[in-house]
């Protein structure tokens, strides 16, 4: 077999392959055997008809077609290896010549990884927001916890912001009731401003049994844009009563005996959350800085595929109804042209990031253990709300295990690279990236904030979510 490769662009090549017939003996035998099993020829058992009779009855065309179909996958892979081509995506194959008993020639155009120069991460310096934890944040956390245990109680006073009211709404246009806007017995929080414009103003100051009337523009539904007269009637006024922040509440809402212990736990949790967010900030800033130092072309077919997938997913939510999709975009204040442009921008960013992380992984050469792969699979299954065993079964069926392996590999490589960068916060304090991205020495270290290492390592998984699985050979 003879092969050559033509470089069409920085991201695309054409393989030229010539296969002599004397190398196709196996495929020719398989072709005759397959056709013999499919046809009935008088005087011969199925599968036993001689080649000469098959040729006389059906000609060489079906044989040659079968031979070509059988040889293409193996010869294509061999051509890739012979020319050290690392493809991404699916090839476009064209049979250019078939001379019976002589030669089969074909070409294969395919996208390839561009040459990517990975910058020296030790030269990268980034700034991230400082960790800021004050008593107000802790108090807010405790108030949120108290609200979970709050209960609505009846009042007899006038309504004010943050009170609750059980209301009836009657919407009319020229005396005709609007069924899709009117309702009864609705519990509404005053100040929510998420129902009808002007409702909150009308409710403030009302008591149980009172009503108010106002005009409003209908913002959604069949009567969108129409001016309606709204009558709101208060069935009952309510307020949320929160439990006292004391030891009794601490015992009710947590495993702690005292409110002081509960407060300290809330502070520690907020601190860990801030550290996890700082790890994400470091990851994002370092990746942005590294990408800014590396310029390379993108394979257009991969980008196009990503754009197509995004559109297919969006249309799928509308049952592939183009009209409904257009209405949804209009409701969001955008157009199809803007959607397409944004999709392409996102696809380009996704593909660029993934290709870059692949290059980083090739440079760093991190080892991925079975335990790390298993942990990543379990985490991914949990994020999809799936049973792990069912998720693994689907991965095996679709051949996606290798992609998750690549996710972990990219993530570990990025974490290793980030550990060599310089990081300061916006108050001028040095931040040690190894606290979040350094090597985990033992099992005891796999806790927060070291867990931020896993979060940061999942950067590859995040960016790969919209990238094609065919980028791994």
Tell me what percent of the residues of the chain surpass a pLDDT of 90: 67
- How high does pLDDT run on average in the chain? 88
* Domains of the chain by start residue, with CATH: 2-112 (3.30.70.1050), 151-241 (3.10.50.40), 259-471 (1.10.3120.10)
pLDDT exceeds 80 at position 47: no
| Token reading at 267 | 């502070």
- The confidence score (pLDDT) of residue 225 equals 82
User: Of 171, 232, 169, whose CA–CA distance to 205 is shortest?
Assistant: 232
In degrees and rounded to multiples of 5, residue 440 shows phi and psi of -85, 120
Whether residue 161 contacts residue 237, with contact meaning beta carbons closer than 8 Å, is answered with: no
pLDDT band for position 48 (50/70/90)?
Answer: confident
Confidence of residue 282 (pLDDT cuts 50, 70, 90): very high
d(CA 214, CA 230): 5
Q: Tell me, what DSSP letter sits at residue 127?
A: E
Q: In this predicted structure, what is the pLDDT of residue 466?
A: 33
Per-residue confidence (pLDDT) for residue 218, from 0 to 100: 84
How far apart are the C-alpha atoms of 263 and 366, rounded to whole Å? 41
Residue 349 or 59, more confident: 349
Mean pLDDT on 189-216: 93
Say which residue, 134 or 440, is predicted with more confidence: 134
Residue 448, CA distances (Å) to 121, 186, 279 in order: 25, 43, 11
In whole angstroms, give the CA distance from residue 78 to residue 70.
14
Q: With cut-offs at 50, 70 and 90, classify the pLDDT of residue 102.
A: very high
Q: Residue 112: its pLDDT value, please?
A: 93
pLDDT at position 14, please? 96
Contact between 110 and 89 under an 8 Å Cβ cutoff? The reply is yes
Please state, as a whole number, how many other Cβ atoms lie within 10 Å of the Cβ of residue 178: 19
| Average pLDDT of the segment spanning 185-211 | 93
Indicate the SS3 state at residue 212: strand
Q: Is residue 401 predicted with pLDDT exceeding 80?
A: yes
Instruction: Quote the CA–CA distance of 338 and 160 in Å, as a whole number.
Output: 42
Please state, in angstroms and rounded to a whole number, the distance separating the CA atoms of residues 295 and 364. Answer: 19
Residue-wise pLDDT tens digits, 356-387: 999 999 999 999 999 999 999 999 999 889 99
Whether the bond into 449 is cis, omega within 30 of 0: yes
Q: What is the DSSP letter of 242?
A: P
- Asked if the model's pLDDT at residue 66 lies above 60, the reply is yes
435 pLDDT tier (thresholds 50, 70, 90)? very high
| pLDDT value of residue 449 | 37
Whole-angstrom distance, CA of residue 256 vs CA of residue 309: 49
Cβ 226 vs Cβ 217: under 8 Å: yes
Helices (H), 247-335: 247-253, 259-292, 300-316, 322-331
pLDDT at 142 over 90: yes
Mean pLDDT over 13-30 rounds to 94
pLDDT grade for 56, boundaries at 50, 70 and 90:
confident
Q: What is the mean pLDDT of residues 335-362?
A: 94
């Amino acid at each position: 077999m003879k092969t050559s490769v033509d470089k069409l662009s920085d991201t695309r090549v054409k393989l030229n392959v010539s296969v002599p017939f004397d190398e196709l003996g196996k495929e020719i035998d398989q072709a005759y055997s397959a056709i013999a099993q499919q046809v009935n020829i008088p005087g011969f058992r199925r599968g036993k008809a001689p080649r000469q009779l098959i040729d006389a009855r059906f000609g060489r065309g079906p044989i040659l077609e079968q031979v070509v179909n059988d040889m293409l996958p193996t010869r294509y892979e061999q051509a890739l290896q012979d020319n050290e081509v690392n493809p991404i995506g699916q090839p476009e194959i064209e049979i250019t010549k078939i001379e019976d008993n002589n030669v089969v020639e074909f070409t294969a155009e395919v996208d390839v990884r561009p040459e990517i120069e990975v910058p020296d991460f030790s030269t990268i310096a980034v700034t991230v927001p400082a960790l800021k934890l004050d008593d107000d944040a802790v108090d807010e956390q405790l108030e949120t916890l108290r609200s979970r245990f709050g209960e609505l109680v009846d009042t007899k006073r006038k309504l004010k912001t943050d009170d609750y009211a059980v209301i009836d709404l009657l919407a009319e246009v020229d005396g005709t009731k609007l069924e899709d806007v009117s309702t009864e017995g609705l519990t509404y929080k005053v100040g929510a401003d998420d129902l009808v414009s002007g409702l909150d103003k009308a409710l403030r100051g009302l008591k149980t049994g009172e009503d108010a009337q106002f005009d409003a523009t209908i913002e959604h539904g069949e009567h969108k844009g129409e001016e309606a007269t709204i009558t709101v009637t208060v069935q009952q006024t309510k307020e949320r009563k929160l439990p006292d922040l004391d030891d009794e509440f601490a015992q009710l809402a947590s495993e702690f005996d005292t409110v002081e212990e509960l407060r300290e736990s809330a502070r520690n949790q907020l601190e860990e959350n801030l550290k996890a967010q700082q790890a994400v900030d470091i990851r994002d800033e370092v990746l942005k800085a590294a990408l800014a130092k590396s310029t390379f072309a993108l394979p257009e077919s991969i980008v196009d595929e990503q754009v197509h997938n995004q559109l297919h997913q969006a249309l799928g939510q509308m049952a592939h109804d183009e009209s409904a999709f257009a209405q949804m975009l209009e409701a969001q204040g955008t157009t199809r042209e803007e959607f397409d442009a944004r999709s392409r921008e996102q696809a380009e960013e996704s593909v660029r990031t993934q290709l870059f992380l692949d290059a980083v992984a090739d440079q760093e050469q991190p080892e991925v253990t079975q335990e790390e792969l298993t942990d990543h699979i379990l985490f991914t299954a949990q994020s999809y709300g799936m049973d792990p065993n069912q998720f693994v079964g689907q991965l095996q069926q679709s051949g996606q295990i290798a992609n998750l392996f690549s996710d972990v590999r990219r993530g570990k490589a990025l974490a290793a690279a980030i550990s060599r960068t310089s990081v300061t916060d916006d108050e001028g304090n040095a931040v040690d990236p190894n606290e979040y991205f350094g090597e985990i020495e033992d099992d005891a270290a796999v806790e927060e904030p070291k867990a931020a290492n896993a979060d940061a390592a999942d950067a590859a998984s995040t960016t790969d979510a919209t990238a094609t699985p065919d980028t791994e050979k």
